[in-house]
Amino acid sequence: MIRGLLKQRGRVLLGFFLIAGPGWARKPPPKPLPIKLTAKISNRFNWDFKKDNLLEDTSQTNTEMIAQAKYLPNPRVQVVVGEWMVDNDLRPYNMYLNLSSDHVNFRLGNQIVRWGKADEISPLDVLNPEDLTLGFNRVRADRKIPVPMANLEFLSDAISLQGVFIPFFEKSIFKYTGDDWAYFDHLEKKYGPINIIEQEPAQTMKDAGYGGRLSGALGRFDLAFSYLNHRRDIPTLVGFPIGPPVVPGQVGGIEDLVKFSKFGFPPFIPPQPIQFRYDREERYGFEFETTAGSFGLRGDLSYVSSQSFTTQNLQEQWKPVITAVGGMDYSGPAGSYINVSVSQTQIRDYDPILAPTEEKTTTLSAQFSLELMSGNVKLSYLGYMNVTDKSYYHNPKVNIGYIPNIGIEVGVDIYGGPSYSQTGFFGNNDQAYLALKYFF
Amino acid sequence: MRIRIGSALAFMVLSSFAVAADNPDARTIAQRVNDREDGKDSYAKVDMLLTDRSGVTQSRSMISATKDYGKLSKSYIRFSAPASIEDTSFLSWEVEGKDDEQFLFLPELGRDRRIVSSQKDSDFVNTDFTYEDMQKRNVDKDTHKILREEKVGEYDCWVLESVPIDPKSSQYKRWVAWIPKGIYLPLRVEFYTRILRQPTKILTTRRLKKVDGIWTAIEAEMKNYERNTMTLLRTIEIKYNQGLPDRMFSRAYLKRNR
């Protein structure tokens, strides 16, 4: 499209030179501007499998648009300006200046940086917050929100060193109440309004995040070590000053939390608001990637020295946490692809009073796809299963790509699990969808 | 994935299936095709037109660069259109006698990834070329026989038949190539996957041109008779021996400026 516009502009200029005479015509024709425009517009039509309450709309349309302009005056300089509109909410997208030389790359501005080698479940891929307003309906890459960052890389054939500085804290986008995809919505419908207070960090340099990553290859092994000091973009529950007594053998859940905050523990403890805050954490990471025979192998390991957990009587305990992820993929004939990974999170120095959080949590994730009709039709599946609490998300879908610049996707999102689990919150939100995407 | 796009575009060159000038024997002809001059490096802009069995066409554009470092050969491909695969890039490092090292950059993920050398009979990005078609093949892995001499257009050709010594080493039972004398770039190759008289696929060089003193296939098509599909490749621009920088074939370059 932009080429067409430039051609048209060229014709107008040519006409002008001919009219203006040979003096003008001797000047060289203008060079086309090194600008590239891209855009992605998607409409997703969702139909809920069931109606939760009288006020709920069982069908919904979500519109998303990303428009981006790239200015590339020479191979070493790049300026990118992009906007992201999600259901009439306009946000900045990629907006950065990139300068590069043979061994240095510097990017300053709104950007996405992804660490870790694992796929959908990666404990090291936490530099950018995510848009969780539609649960997990979009893949992780599409949920990432670009944030202001300075990103400096020193690159050589043997090793690369990267340093990032994130001056201002930005949290992930989600809702507590008032929406099917809100975390407390089902409980608010059951118990009435819930008093939630969020302690937001001040937007000062004290909340800056920073980190570094050293990566290199050892034979056919790609290895990387990283360190990140930042505020988690997902909130944690602030411990209650006085919580309810622990009932031996009873496992607490979010519903108990809501009930306690609304009704207290009569006659001794009055109702109290639920408070959330965004904790600072230090995260150490190790990642690897290699190939073995017909398989690709990769994994992430993260260590957080101190993370807040809620006990059964709604107090807080801080514990170190280790998360390990191992994944394997295989590309087969006829465009088939299989990718499976296993993740285990372990709370060190575990205390049984932390229930419902288990000492070890195991999650499986899987992705399969098969291309048909010269790649114009793709059958695929993406899903997760938390083996520990039996929660799950399944997303089988069909992609049709016959029409240039238009993508059609038909699929279903199926959520389930206990109500205190992440996907269990959305257990009533199973839906079928049709997504239409136009891009250029 | 095996992305060997050596000597401009190896699938246009298919250097292992070929011939020459004097009165050489079949193996010599095949060796001469393999050793054919294709420059120390190359940079090409290529358009691809895919036609499926129902006649629906799809076009793609890409740039391809290759560089030889003696026994090591590196190649780089970046798709520039359509928008659905734009900026998807591949990097391949091929060392003689060893497994290739290959990397893929997927812009939608914002990550580069080490990938497995694909099964040789897999299609290359949904084209009618398999990864085997794009690789150089050691001449001594096959027996070669001159079937006859024949004229194709203005070119006098040898018709050379090659059969793998170890049947497991190739997806093909045999292939027959029309090699113009003195040029060593196949004008036509028939690929047989079964013991049948009909080929499964036919590669036809539609247009041949000398660029910077090197014979280059400017337009070539691969027709798959089993699936009734076709892939047409058109070289829009090609340059040899430009002294391409080494950084172009590095992993840092793979994800840079995306």
The complex scores an ipTM of: 0.80
Which of A390-394, B78-82, B142-146 has the lowest average pLDDT? B78-82
Contacts of B126 in chain A (CB under 8 A): 335, 371, 374-375
Percent of chain A at pLDDT exceeding 70: 90
Beta bridge partners of B62: B46, B79
CB contact under 8 A, A331 and B122: yes
Please give the Cα distance from A359 to A423 (Å, whole number). Answer: 19
pLDDT band at B19 (very low <50, low <70, confident <90, very high): very low
Please give the Cα distance from A399 to B236 (Å, whole number). Answer: 31
DSSP letter for each residue of B185-240: S-SEEEEESSSSSS-SEEEEEEEEEEETTEEEEEEEEEEETTTTEEEEEEEEEEEE
pLDDT for A14: 36
Tell me the two tokens of residue A131. 């848009």
- What's the mean pLDDT in B20-35? 83
More confident residue, A369 or A179: A369
Contacts of A332 in chain B (CB under 8 A): 119, 122
- What's the mean pLDDT in B98-118? 82
Q: How far is A268 from chain B (nearest CA, A)?
A: 53
A105, A153, A296 ranked by CB distance to B115: nearest: A296
Contacts of A330 in chain B (CB under 8 A): 116
Only one residue has tokens 């790239």, namely: A70
The Cβ of residue B212 has, within 10 Å, a number of other Cβ atoms equal to 12
List, for residues A185-238, the tens digit of each pLDDT value. Answer: 878 888 888 999 999 887 788 889 999 999 999 988 999 999 999 999 999 999
Task: Specify the DSSP element, H or E, that contains A131.
Answer: none
Contacts of B113 in chain A (CB under 8 A): 117, 289, 296
pLDDT for A390: 93
pLDDT for A386: 95
Please give the Cα distance from A357 to A348 (Å, whole number). Answer: 12
Q: How far is A333 from chain B (nearest CA, A)?
A: 5
pLDDT band at A357 (very low <50, low <70, confident <90, very high): confident
Q: How far is B152 from chain A (nearest CA, A)?
A: 31
In the predicted structure, residue B232 carries a pLDDT above the cut 90: yes
Pairing of strands A274-277, A196-199: parallel
3-class SS at A38?
strand
Q: How far is B124 from chain A (nearest CA, A)?
A: 9
pLDDT for B228: 92
Contacts of B117 in chain A (CB under 8 A): 291
Q: What is the dihedral of CA B112, B117, B123, B129, to 10 degrees?
A: 100
pLDDT for A225: 98
The Cβ of residue A258 has, within 10 Å, a number of other Cβ atoms equal to 21
pLDDT for A410: 98
- What's the mean pLDDT in A336-344? 94
A142, A331, A402 ranked by CB distance to B1: nearest: A331
* Long-range pairs of A33-36 with CB within 8 A, sequence gap ≥ 24: A33/A6, A33/A71, A34/A71, A34/A72, A34/A73, A35/A2, A35/A69, A35/A70, A35/A71, A35/A72, A36/A2, A36/A69, A36/A70, A36/A72
pLDDT for A55: 62
In the predicted structure, residue A24 carries a pLDDT above the cut 70: no
- What's the mean pLDDT in B8-29? 58
Which residues have CB under 8 Å from A178's CB, separation 6+?
A185, A188
pTM of the model as a whole: 0.84
DSSP letter for each residue of B98-131: S--EEEEEETTTTEEEEEPPPPTTSBSTTSS-BT
In the predicted structure, residue A20 carries a pLDDT above the cut 80: no
CB contact under 8 A, A335 and B113: no
Contact A176, A195 (CB under 8 A): no
Buried b (16+ CB within 10 A) or exposed e, A33-52: eeeeebbbebebebebeeee
Say yes or no: B195 contacts chain A, CB-CB below 8 A.
Answer: no
Please give the Cα distance from A108 to A123 (Å, whole number). Answer: 24
